[in-house]
Amino acid sequence: MKNNSKAIWTVAKINFQQLTPSYIVTAAFTVVGIYNLIACLTGMTDNYYVDMANYLYVLAVMAPIIISSRNFKRIMHLNGNKKAFYWGAMLNYGIIATGISLIVIIFFVFTKAIFGSRLIINNLVDIFGWWQHGAVIALFQQFLFLLLIEVVVHTLTSIQNRWYGWVIDGVLLAIIGIFIPIPELRNVLAGFFDMIIFHSSVLTQMISCFALLTISYLLYLPILQRKKI
């Protein structure tokens, strides 16, 4: 593959073709969502319904794991190059984040319109406070958050076979283990998640997500350059 837009699109296409396990798991979660909707409507459970579109977030977590851990070697063996893989994966994540964001918002609007009088609908765009800024803003907020998740998961997955990957895993576990029990540190951790998810300022939330995903993806570049086939 030559390093151009055609090569990037080819990499993205191959990646999508190799995501069957994530499609299956996401579909299984969606079936659970359909069952929950039926159960809520028929009185089998209470009327607190978790919007089935929320389960698409599973795809945003699983896709980068597969792309980073399995598809890299596959593409390199097809005479691909690392730069095309780098940007091809980013294209995958952009498309996935866009698709999920659109579907989640569309489902929320229609589910609320159709079942809103009978069910208490729990959708992440509402729970995270994005919906209060309107559908368009909520779309961009959700898109950037999902893109951040995908890029961070991709980067972390790519270093799991390296010594510094284990170090980073240990540091992350230590942060969780130390920050949560101590109120002052727990507030710092809560402030971080507030910044990238719940912040009342749209610009703060969006800029924070964009800055973190940019840093994460830039950190991945030297890792990719040293990655062996």
pLDDT, one tens digit per residue, over 31-62 is: 999 999 999 988 888 888 989 999 999 999 99
Sign of the C-alpha dihedral computed for residues 136, 189, 61 and 125 taken in this order: negative
Q: Which domain holds residue 59?
A: 5-158+199-226
Tell me if 171 is assigned to some domain.
no
Tell me if 44 is assigned to some domain.
yes
User: Per-residue pLDDT tens for 143-190?
Assistant: 999 999 999 999 888 877 775 667 776 777 777 777 777 777 778 888
User: Per-residue pLDDT tens for 183-224?
Assistant: 777 788 888 889 999 998 999 999 999 999 999 888 888 877
Please tell me the predicted confidence (pLDDT) of residue 164: 63
User: Per-residue pLDDT tens for 97-122?
Assistant: 999 999 999 999 999 999 988 889 99
Please tell me the predicted confidence (pLDDT) of residue 2: 47
Please tell me the predicted confidence (pLDDT) of residue 165: 63
Tell me if 140 is assigned to some domain.
yes
Instruction: Compute the distance between CA of residue 158 and CA of residue 49 in angstroms, rounded to an integer.
Output: 36
- Amino acid occupying residue 23: Y
Decide if 135 contacts 109 (C-beta within 8 A). yes
Tell me if 210 is assigned to some domain.
yes
Closest C-alpha to 90, from 150, 5, 149: 150
User: Per-residue pLDDT tens for 9-25?
Assistant: 999 999 999 999 999 99
Tell me if 32 is assigned to some domain.
yes
Tell me if 188 is assigned to some domain.
no
Domain count for the chain? 1
